[in-house]
Amino acid sequence: MSNDLLDLARDVAFAAGELVYRRRAEGVTVADHKSSPVDVVTLADRESEALIRSMLADARPNDAFFGEETSGEAAARDGGTSGLTWIVDPIDGTVNYLYDIPHYAISITVVEGDPNPFTWNALAGCVLNPATGEVFTATAGEGAWLGDTAIHAAPSVDLAQALVATGFGYDAEVRRAQGAVVAQLLPEVRDIRRMGTASLDLCFVANGRLNAYFERGLQHWDHAAGALIAREAGARVTGFDGVAASREFTLAGAPELAAALEARLIDLGV
Ligand code: LIP
């Protein structure tokens, strides 16, 4: 069943990706602001989620839907009777998308259970960058892929040799604290990357373009698919003390490096 679910996720992601990419070429404007003046949503975000939700409902009407732009709607969250929930970010990396930086993604995951990373069982995930055409996929227990090529996380390296990605929240005071942690970590690692799209950051750990990634404050839809892909590629994906990756903390990397990075980040007050 997971392969059928993945095929559906991939087909829907490509349909949404075509729409999003076309809207980008036509010109993108801010439709609204959310948690702060710099936390924006575009009309394309809303159009993409509406298309994804419609296609999934047509194909699997008894599944629940939990998307970034409609997660507050009880009907979307509770509408399922199948036991499966689709966790969707219609455009991850919205600020990159708004600025026409070609590093944003459609992220679609299907889980057994409710939209709770501490209890769900991720079955299949797809992360598509519409600007590059790169599509990362995984099904539980069957590995991770970039297109038709199996992918694997990089072997562990010492912290000082690690290329580490992170991200920041939209609240100014949260960003101040997050910046202070990065300022202390920067001299201790190979380098830091802040690319603005959590789902792709996790996929880049999955195929070795990054040694590790960490971030606090991610929404379910930001990490759900990328976490499955990174885990299926052999990376350790975790929250603090081995709990599931979540809004509290998400970290991914080869097991030994992940443990060393988590310990250092805790020392630094992440
Ligand atoms: C983004 C994440 C990114 C984070 C940004 C933002 P969005 O998601 O993918 O990792 O650092 O602050 O949360 O808001 O573009 O869907």
Q: What is the pLDDT of residues 222-247, one digit of tens each?
A: 999 999 999 999 999 999 999 999 99
Residue 154 has what DSSP assignment? P
CB of 125 within 6 A of ligand 1: the answer is no
Note whether 103 and 134 are same-domain residues.
yes
Note whether 23 and 141 are same-domain residues.
yes
Note whether 146 and 193 are same-domain residues.
no
Q: Starting at the edge strand that comes first in sequence, how are the strands of the sheet with 121-128 ordered? A: 64-67, 84-92, 105-112, 121-128, 135-139, 144-146, 149-151
Note whether 129 and 168 are same-domain residues.
no
pTM of the model: 0.96
Centre of ligand 1 from the C-alpha of residue 1, in Å: 31
Per-residue pLDDT at 205: 99
The CATH number of residue 252's host domain is 3.40.190.80
Per-residue pLDDT at 29: 83
Q: Has residue 109 got a pLDDT over 60?
A: yes
Residue pLDDT, tens place only, 7-22: 999 999 999 999 999 9
Phi, psi of 34 (to 5 degrees): -115, -100
Per-residue pLDDT at 141: 97
Residue pLDDT, tens place only, 32-42: 888 877 788 88
Per-residue pLDDT at 78: 59
Note whether 117 and 190 are same-domain residues.
no
The CATH number of residue 83's host domain is 3.30.540.10
Note whether 23 and 95 are same-domain residues.
yes
Per-residue pLDDT at 252: 98
Helix (H) or strand (E) holding 26: helix 2-26
Q: Which atom of ligand 1 is nearest to the CA of 89?
A: 16
Centre of ligand 1 from the C-alpha of residue 253, in Å: 19
From 151, 173, 199, the end of a domain falls on: 151
Residue pLDDT, tens place only, 45-96: 999 999 999 999 999 999 999 998 887 666 555 578 999 999 999 999 999 9
How far is the C-alpha of 236 from the C-alpha of 253, rounded, in Å? 5
Comparing C-alpha atoms, which of 54, 46, 52, 12 is closest to residue 28? 46
Is the Cα torsion angle 74, 80, 86, 91 positive or negative in sign? Answer: negative
From 93, 122, 151, the end of a domain falls on: 151
Per-residue pLDDT at 71: 75
The set of residues, in sequence order, having a beta carbon less than 8 Å from that of 150 and lying 6+ positions away, is 143, 144
Note whether 203 and 262 are same-domain residues.
yes
Residue pLDDT, tens place only, 176-218: 999 999 999 999 999 999 999 999 999 999 999 999 999 999 9
**Structural domain count of the chain:** 2
Centre of ligand 1 from the C-alpha of residue 199, in Å: 9
Per-residue pLDDT at 184: 98
CB of 89 within 6 A of ligand 1: the answer is yes
Note whether 114 and 168 are same-domain residues.
no
Residue pLDDT, tens place only, 128-183: 999 999 999 999 999 999 999 999 999 999 999 999 999 999 889 999 999 999 99
Note whether 95 and 168 are same-domain residues.
no
Note whether 105 and 212 are same-domain residues.
no
Note whether 86 and 179 are same-domain residues.
no
| Residue span of the structural domain in which 123 resides | 2-151
Q: Which atom of ligand 1 is nearest to the CA of 92?
A: 16
Note whether 166 and 123 are same-domain residues.
no
From 151, 177, 194, the end of a domain falls on: 151
Pocket probe for ligand 1: among 222, 247, 249, the residue whose CB has the most ligand atoms within 8 Å is 222
